[in-house]
C-alpha cells in the first residue's frame, strides 16, 4: 500500500483537537514522563489503591513471599507490605466498593492455578482469606460489576484439565461465591472483560470478539 502523508498544517490541526492549546504545558491534562526509576522488585502485578499508593508484587521468591510492595507517588518511596499466605503471581485482582482489593487464583506451577481468594484492606494493610472458588484459576480476570459484585472468568485449572470454563460472581452482600452454571465458555488467559452501560459484561479476546453477554437479571447482579 502506498503511504499517505498528512500535510503538516492538517497534522498539527488534528493534534490540536486532541490537546487544545489551553492544555499545553498542563501536566495534569497531557501527562508527564519522569526519569527512569529503580524499584526494589518487578511490578508484575500492580493496583492503584484508594489511599493514593500503588500496590505491586512479583513472582514468588521464597516461601509465601511475593515481595508485595507499596509505592507512594508523592514521595517516590517503596515500602514492604504484608503478603497473603499463598503465591498470588498469575492472579486476578479488582477493586471493591469499600476500597478493598479482591485477589483471585494464583500460581502452583506453569498451567496450574490456585482456588484461593483474598481481600486486601489498604487502610489496615491486612489480608483476609475468603472461601475458595469452584476450582483452580491461573491467569483469571476479575471485573467489578455496577452493583459492586465481581465477575471472575477463565484461569487454567491444570495443564491436563485446561481452562476453568465456569464463571463465578463474588457477592459482596453475602460474602460468598455464585456459580454461573449456564454461562460456560473457554476463554484465554486474562480475557479482556468490559462492562457495558446496560450492566452486561462482554469479553474481547486478543484474536476475536467472543459473544459472552451475561444476561442482566431483574435484580442488580448477573445471572
pLDDT at 161: 97
pLDDT at 61: 67
pLDDT at 201: 59
Domain spans in the chain, listed from the N-terminal domain onward: 39-210
Phi and psi torsions of 7, nearest 5°:
-55, 145
Q: Which fold has domain 39-210?
A: Neuraminidase (2.120.10)
pLDDT at 65: 77
pLDDT at 101: 98
Q: What is the pLDDT along the chain (223 residues), one digit of tens a residue?
A: 344 433 433 333 333 445 455 656 688 888 888 899 999 999 999 999 999 999 999 987 665 579 999 999 999 999 999 999 899 999 999 999 999 999 999 999 999 999 999 999 999 999 999 999 999 999 999 999 999 999 999 999 999 999 999 999 999 999 999 999 999 999 999 999 888 766 665 555 443 333 344 443 334 444 4
Q: Burial level of 130, CB count in 10 A (0-12/13-18/19+)?
A: middle
pTM, rounded to two decimals? 0.78
pLDDT at 63: 59
Amino acid at each position: 500500500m502506498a503511504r499517505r502523508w498528512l500535510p503538516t498544517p492538517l497534522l498539527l490541526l488534528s493534534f490540536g483537537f486532541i490537546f487544545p492549546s489551553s492544555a499545553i504545558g498542563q501536566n495534569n491534562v497531557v501527562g508527564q514522563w519522569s526519569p527512569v526509576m529503580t524499584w526494589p522488585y518487578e511490578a508484575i502485578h500492580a493496583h492503584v489503591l484508594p489511599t493514593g499508593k500503588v500496590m505491586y508484587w512479583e513472582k514468588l521468591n521464597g516461601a509465601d513471599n511475593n515481595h508485595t510492595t507499596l509505592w507512594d507517588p508523592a514521595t517516590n518511596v517503596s515500602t514492604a507490605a504484608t503478603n497473603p499466605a499463598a503465591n498470588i503471581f498469575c492472579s486476578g485482582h479488582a477493586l471493591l466498593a469499600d476500597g478493598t482489593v479482591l485477589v483471585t487464583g494464583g500460581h502452583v506451577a506453569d498451567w496450574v492455578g490456585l482456588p484461593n481468594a483474598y481481600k486486601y484492606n489498604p487502610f489496615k494493610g491486612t489480608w483476609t482469606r475468603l472461601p475458595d472458588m469452584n476450582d483452580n484459576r491461573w491467569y483469571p480476570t476479575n471485573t467489578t460489576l455496577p452493583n459492586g459484585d465481581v465477575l471472575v472468568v477463565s484461569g487454567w485449572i491444570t495443564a491436563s484439565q485446561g481452562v476453568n470454563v465456569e464463571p463465578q460472581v463474588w457477592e459482596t452482600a453475602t460474602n460468598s461465591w455464585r456459580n454461573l452454571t449456564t454461562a460456560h465458555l473457554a476463554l484465554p488467559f486474562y480475557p479482556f472483560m468490559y462492562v457495558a452501560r446496560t450492566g452486561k459484561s462482554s469479553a474481547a479476546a486478543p484474536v476475536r470478539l467472543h459473544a459472552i453477554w451475561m444476561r442482566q437479571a431483574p435484580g442488580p447482579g448477573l445471572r
